[in-house]
Structure 1
């Protein structure tokens, strides 16, 4: 039976991703939804993108745009960079592309261009890297950047009263548009967790792979969790984004 699997942030941790896919025992019929931030972190940023491009030839894959992907894309295409990006993983991506040819870089630029800001499946579920702010839903958002930078959706879910009914007058309108929302962007390790966390109807699948955590995948239907080893243990000679 085919599965729908959603993946948290990778941050260049290709060794962790390969290990995770082996543990999942991937089938060609499985659909894979990646929530973004494929680069900026461990030394395999460029190799991770190459691997994902090849993976999409074997499985049905949806690639959501993350903030780090947007920054790396801008640098690849125009040379644009800023100090904040360099300090938060950008330098690792620049280093990772040093031996890539012009044609290889162009293939990656095309990959970045074709990403989705968000994806809605046929079961009324939303997949987005960070969030959205428009009360009418993501289709009405004024600026694309919110999809891969916004943290207020997750902060709102964390602050909500447990068990608040969806028809309660104080239930957030943003959350009423979907059965479930799957996000990354803000590591759950910040609240002391190591596995994907569910708050209200939001699932946060970012388990801190850029730092001391694992890469995680969640079966959207069964909610079974799969994880790699903590990624930093697979790159013992590197600092990542620590």
Structure 2
């Protein structure tokens, strides 16, 4: 047996880590929080990381966040959902929306992350193409992932994109989806930095850009991790289930 060859018995005893599907809530340009959270997750190539959208705008380094995601594709399976802020950026680039309207909703901070005084045409083409590739819904056997909201009585393949990207849970709190799957969403920021658990729906936008936490939720195990833009990191827990009537935003 050579020095680098392992005995057959030892090879059989190697246990591969169980694959995980982990959702991350609205990053909003918080590059330190994202890097801290990803480091704490100890990702493997068997894991799937689902970004729920609104990776850009408002926070200090949207460009750095996109660069981190591009690099993450080499470490795990990455699936990104387009949020309303990504849509505003793309609509501004495509001439479908006033650039000024995007700028006042966080786009100014995004452009500044590419360089002070940069125009919208100077955003890196690789970043624009990457964001264009993001979808609306990610499905798993027991869960589905969307940015903002959904219609409970309509199949996931027929959901209106306006509801998926724009509708706040403050305006409409949906019932359980007809598929029976648990929804995992972001978009509706909880300014007390608390996870919303309705049983059939979990919202993990915990207001990172406003001083709260960036939250990661492993739907395979129920584990939760959180990080702040200050570099703090903690393991947390999914809170007890609330009824919609008890929810306060």
Q: TM-score scaled by structure 2? A: 0.76
Q: Is the contact between residue 6 and residue 217 of structure 1 (CA under 8 Å) also seen in structure 2?
A: yes
Structure 1 residue 86 and structure 2 residue 88: aligned? no
- CA deviation digits over 1:133-172, x for unaligned, max 9? 362233223x422211012488425xxxxxxxxxxxxxx3
The answer for the alignment partner of 1:184 in structure 2 is 186
Cα displacement string for residues 95-140 of structure 1 (whole angstroms, at most 9, x for unaligned residues): 122378979711011111100111112x142100001236223322
Greater alpha carbon shift after TM alignment, 62-71 vs 129-138:
129-138
The equivalent of 1:226 in structure 2 is 225
Change (3 A) 1:25 1:220: same
Q: How many residues align?
A: 212
Q: Provide the rounded CA distance (Å) in 1 between the counterparts of 2:93 and 2:65.
A: 15
Counterparts of 2:143 and 2:63 in 1: how far apart (Å)? 30
CA distance 1:56–1:153, change in 2 (3 Å): farther
What is the CA–CA distance in structure 1 between the aligned matches of 2:76 and 2:94, rounded to whole Å?
27
SS at match of 1:52: helix
Tell me the distance in 2 between the aligned counterparts of 1:150 and 1:91.
Answer: 23
Q: Larger relative contact order (C-alpha < 8 A, sep ≥ 6)?
A: 1
**Structure whose alpha-carbon radius of gyration is higher:** 2
Unaligned 5+ segments in structure 2 are 1-16, 232-249
Does the alignment pair 1:69 with 2:68?
A: no
Counterpart for residue 107 of structure 1: 126
Structure 1 residue 78: deviation in Å?
4.3
Alignment-derived partner of residue 211 in structure 1: 210
* Aligned-partner Cα distance in 1 for 2:200–2:25: 17
Q: CA deviation at 1:179?
A: 2.0
Determine the C-alpha separation between the residues in 2 that align with 1:78 and 1:16.
32
Aligned to 2:155: 137
CA RMSD in angstroms, aligned pairs only: 2.5
Task: Name the CA distance, whole Å, in 2 between partners of 1:222 and 1:28.
Answer: 17
SS at match of 1:188: coil
Gapped regions of structure 1 (runs ≥ 5): 158-171, 235-242
Distance 1:154 1:139, change over 3 A: farther
Q: Secondary structure at the match of 2:187?
A: coil
- The 1:154/1:217 distance shift into structure 2, 3 A limit, reads farther
Q: Mean Cα displacement is larger for which, 78-87 or 40-49? A: 78-87
